[in-house]
A and B are shown apart, each in its own frame.
Chain A
Amino acid sequence: MQKRLTLRIAMVLAGALVFTFTAFAQGGRGGILAHNPANDNKPFDKHDLNGVWSRNGSPAGYGGGGTCRDCGDRGYSNDVPPLTPLGQKMFDANKPSYGRNLNSPDAAAHPEEAIGRRRAVPPANGTDPYQSCNPEGIPRALIYPDPIEFTVLKDRVLQQFEWGYQVRTIWTDGRAPVKDPDLPRWWGYATGKWEGDTFVVDTYGFDPRTWVDHYGYPHSADMHLQERYKRTYYDTLELSMTIDDPKVYTKPWVSQLKKFRLIDQPKTIEGWKGLIEDICAPIEDVEEFNKRIRDPAGGIVH
Chain B
Amino acid sequence: MKAKFILPLLFVIALLMVGVPLSAHHGTGVSYDASKPVTLKGVVTEFRYANPHPQLFFDVTDEKGNVVHWSGEFYPNPAQLVQAGWGRKRSEAALTPGTQVTVTVAPARAGGPVGALLKLQNDKGEVIMGVAPGNANASPTPEPTK
Closest A residue by C-beta to B140? A63
The residue that A65 contacts in the complex, of B115, B143, B146, with Cβ under 8 A, is: B143
Q: How far is the CB of B99 from the nearest CB of chain A, in Å?
A: 19
Contact in complex: B26, A130 (CB < 8 Å): yes
Closest B residue by C-beta to A5? B2
Q: Verify if A257 is at the interface (C-beta below 8 Å from B).
A: no
Q: A75-B146, A294-B31 are in contact. Are A13 and B51 (CB under 8 A)?
A: no
Q: Verify if B79 is at the interface (C-beta below 8 Å from A).
A: yes
For residue A20, which residues in chain B have a CB less than 8 angstroms away from its CB?
Answer: 13, 16-17
Q: In the complex, A2→B2 CA distance in Å?
A: 8
What total of A-B pairs shows CB separation below 8 Å? 171
Q: How far is the CB of A129 from the nearest CB of chain B, in Å?
A: 11
Contact in complex: A13, B32 (CB < 8 Å): no
For residue B108, which residues in chain A have a CB less than 8 angstroms away from its CB?
Answer: 296-299
Q: Verify if B93 is at the interface (C-beta below 8 Å from A).
A: no
Q: How far is the CB of A121 from the nearest CB of chain B, in Å?
A: 6
Contact in complex: B142, A293 (CB < 8 Å): no
Q: How far is the CB of B115 from the nearest CB of chain A, in Å?
A: 8
Q: In the complex, A20→B77 CA distance in Å?
A: 24
Stretch at the interface among A166-174, A175-183, A227-235, A282-290: A282-290
Residues of B that sit less than 8 Å from A by CB: 1-2, 5-6, 9-10, 13, 16-17, 20-21, 23-28, 30-32, 48, 50-53, 55, 57, 71-73, 76-77, 79-80, 82-83, 87, 108-112, 114-116, 140-146
- Can you pick out 12 interface pairs between chain A and chain B where the beta carbons lie within 8 Å of each other? A9-B6, A13-B9, A63-B141, A99-B145, A122-B109, A214-B27, A269-B82, A276-B79, A276-B83, A280-B52, A285-B51, A289-B53
